[in-house]
Amino acid sequence: MAAWLTTHFDFPGRRLFDWALILPLAVPTYLAAYSYVEFLDFTGPVQQALRALIGAATIRDYWFPQIKSPAGAALVLSLVLYPYVYVACRTFFLMQSGSVGAASRTLGASGGRTFFTIILPLSRPALVAGITLAMMEVLNDLGAVQYFGVNSLTAVIYSTWINRGNFGGAAQLAVTIVLIVAALILIEQWARRGRVYQLHRDSRVAPPRETLAGRHAVAASLFCTVLLAGGFGVPVGELTVLALRNLGPNAVQAATGAGVTTVFLAAAGALVTIGIGLFAAKVGNARGSRPAHAAIRIATLGYAVPGTVLALGLLQPLGQADLWLNRASIALLDWRPGLILSGSVAALLYVYAIRFLAVSHTTLDAAMRRRGDQMIDAGRVLGVTGWRLLLRVDLPSLSPALLSAATLVFVEIVKELPATLLLRPLGVETLATMVYARANVSLFTEAALPALGIVLVGVLPVILATRFSDRRSG
């Protein structure tokens, strides 16, 4: 609904909402959970204002909904994850033909009827893509569901493995998640078999914006304001207040150290993932490469697998490989190197590449298909091949897509918690793990500054990616 409003109507604040509604993407789910619990808790500003208003002294004097509940978790996760659907639908609406809506209005259909009977069915691929991404984020979530006291599969896997030491039981639950993800993907592919959801290019007309007035304009502005405030304003506002309370040299020094580590890991992970994604996109766009297409489709399924499951699947073989390396080193050199693969930066970069390859590959593959093969063929005719072709043709022509993909992967790695928490080297602290460790022992005031750092690191890249998307679709 928000994407439909911002792309087809003019109302107060539309220009702001058009790009600002994507900002909740910079707020990880676990930060939103911590912020909302603090905001709506007994000692939070909402209940304090309510007690002052009605003259209540204790919690027994009034009723207030429990935020730490499945319903509270669903509400908060929805407020933070709606941009996945918003972005997908917004892009579709900007690229769709305006003649469809014009024909509907000519036949006497109202705006609401046009939306529900024509536009919504046509936007099904965008809706499914956005909802699927949001579902994957919910499956991957660990900190939020734990803090809300909800027993999700990911939280149970973590508890079974770490707290109970039952690796086999955790592995069985992990297989269950993988089967659920595979079933969802297969069901979606089966549901849209043989169907076409595209418009002919000849009919593309820029969708005109209708100016709203009166109560309709107020309702549209209010709806977008509630979404933006709920997904971004409340979490960031609460984090800012708490961070200012605990602002001091020690807090700043700790957050800065974790921030430097986070930026290093995110930049290195983005570089590795973009390199693999570029290679996969080039192989996938090569002529007559059906096995390669199948292999790439399997490789890009990593985004659908929660970080906890990936860490669980990697730690055992990496640990076994470390054991063999240590035995060989002792036998040959009488020296024990310790953990080389498991619990190392290399392991983290490996899991980041698996987890976020789909993000980089999708962006680069689409850019290559849009560019076509003419530039590559021209370069080969001129004798440019191999690395020279990559450096002189591919990288310059794909630079906007490379920047966009690197930005998205960077933001995802900054927010990533489960895999980083389980595979990080000893003594290495990122902003995400620092927030989790402090919030887990009810020291959220001390976690507010690094939490705010995560949001600030993520906001600018998200805005840049949105601007690039606008130029590309426009």
Main-chain dihedrals φ then ψ at residue 10, nearest 5 degrees: -110, 125
Which stretches of the chain score pLDDT less than 70?
Answer: 95-114, 116, 184-185, 187-208, 285-289, 370-394, 461-462, 464-474
Determine the pLDDT at residue 237: 92
d(CA 350, CA 131): 27
- Sign of the CA dihedral with 182 first, then 188, 189, and 190 last: positive
In a domain, 462, yes or no: no
d(CA 23, CA 235): 11
User: Are residues 291 and 344 located together in one domain of the fold?
Assistant: yes
Rounded to two decimals, the pTM is: 0.75
What's at 364, amino acid-wise? L
User: Are residues 40 and 184 located together in one domain of the fold?
Assistant: yes
User: Are residues 224 and 279 located together in one domain of the fold?
Assistant: no
User: Are residues 409 and 399 located together in one domain of the fold?
Assistant: yes
User: Are residues 279 and 389 located together in one domain of the fold?
Assistant: yes
User: Are residues 283 and 395 located together in one domain of the fold?
Assistant: yes
pLDDT digits (tens, 9 = 90+) for 329-371: 888 888 887 777 777 888 899 899 998 888 888 777 777 776 6
Check which CATH number belongs to the domain holding 321 and give it. Answer: 1.10.3720.10
**What is the domain count for the chain?**
2
User: Are residues 406 and 365 located together in one domain of the fold?
Assistant: yes
Main-chain dihedrals φ then ψ at residue 385, nearest 5 degrees: -140, 170
In a domain, 252, yes or no: yes
In a domain, 18, yes or no: yes
The domain boundary residue, chosen from 230, 245, 260: 245
User: Are residues 93 and 113 located together in one domain of the fold?
Assistant: yes
In a domain, 460, yes or no: no
User: Are residues 195 and 227 located together in one domain of the fold?
Assistant: yes
In a domain, 453, yes or no: no
User: Are residues 280 and 241 located together in one domain of the fold?
Assistant: no
Determine the pLDDT at residue 78: 92
User: Are residues 237 and 263 located together in one domain of the fold?
Assistant: no
In a domain, 461, yes or no: no
In a domain, 468, yes or no: no
User: Are residues 122 and 9 located together in one domain of the fold?
Assistant: yes
In a domain, 458, yes or no: no
Query: Which domain does 394 fall in, by range?
Result: 246-440
